[in-house]
Amino acid sequence: MMVLGAVLTIAIPNFLDNTGSNLAALFGNFAILMFVLIVFGQLAINVFNLYGAFMSSIMTFEPFLKFRVTPKVRRGFLLCITFLATTLCIVGQGNFLEFFMNFIFFMSYFLIPWTSINLVDYYILRRGEYSVKDIFDLNGKYGKVNWIASFAFVASILAEIPFINASF
């Protein structure tokens, strides 16, 4: 799809001004059908995006708030996520690339230390030996919180602050 986008951007002048219309126009009499396919494709992608955001949010908040996920809770979460995502899209409409890069950088400031800690724990400290059963048992050999790993995570994020390179 990226190659197709690159080819169309080069082949059609001002293709990026309105990609949906320009792509549909390539199909002549079938342009309406192409518009319908584009809309359904966008709906399908956005449903998966909302589902992923919902699952991530539920998994983040549920252990702390101890609520039951009912259809009413699902609707509430999805409405909040939709409102937040729509607001971010409207605010970032003029400079999407800058917002997107800031988001990627922001996530990497947390994911890189987390990944490093997991790799050191798995390969060096535990030498690849994990008890999957104990990971899900609060009273298992891993316990509830690994305070050393938590401290290392927070310390590594704090150490990154002087090196943050983002517009925010």
Q: Cα(166)–Cα(43) distance, rounded to whole angstroms?
A: 31
User: How much of the chain, in percent, has pLDDT values that exceed 70?
Assistant: 99
Instruction: Give the type of residue at 84.
Output: L
**Which residues make Cβ contacts (< 8 Å) with residue 23, sequence separation at least 6?**
8, 34, 38
pTM: 0.56
Q: Is the pLDDT of residue 41 over 80?
A: yes
Q: What one-character DSSP code corresponds to residue 120?
A: I
Q: What one-character DSSP code corresponds to residue 166?
A: S
**18-40 tens-digit pLDDT:** 888 888 888 888 989 998 998 99
In the prediction, which pLDDT does 130 show? 80
**Greater model confidence, 68 or 83:** 83
Q: Could you tell me if 62 and 68 are in contact, meaning their C-beta atoms sit under 8 angstroms apart?
A: no
Q: Is the pLDDT of residue 13 over 90?
A: no
Q: Is the four-CA dihedral 63, 69, 74, 80 of positive or negative sign?
A: negative
**Greater model confidence, 166 or 148:** 148
Q: 158 pLDDT band (50/70/90 cuts)?
A: very high
**81-134 tens-digit pLDDT:** 889 888 988 887 888 888 888 888 888 889 999 999 889 888 888 787 887 787
Q: Is the pLDDT of residue 168 over 70?
A: no
User: How much of the chain, in percent, has pLDDT values that exceed 90?
Assistant: 15
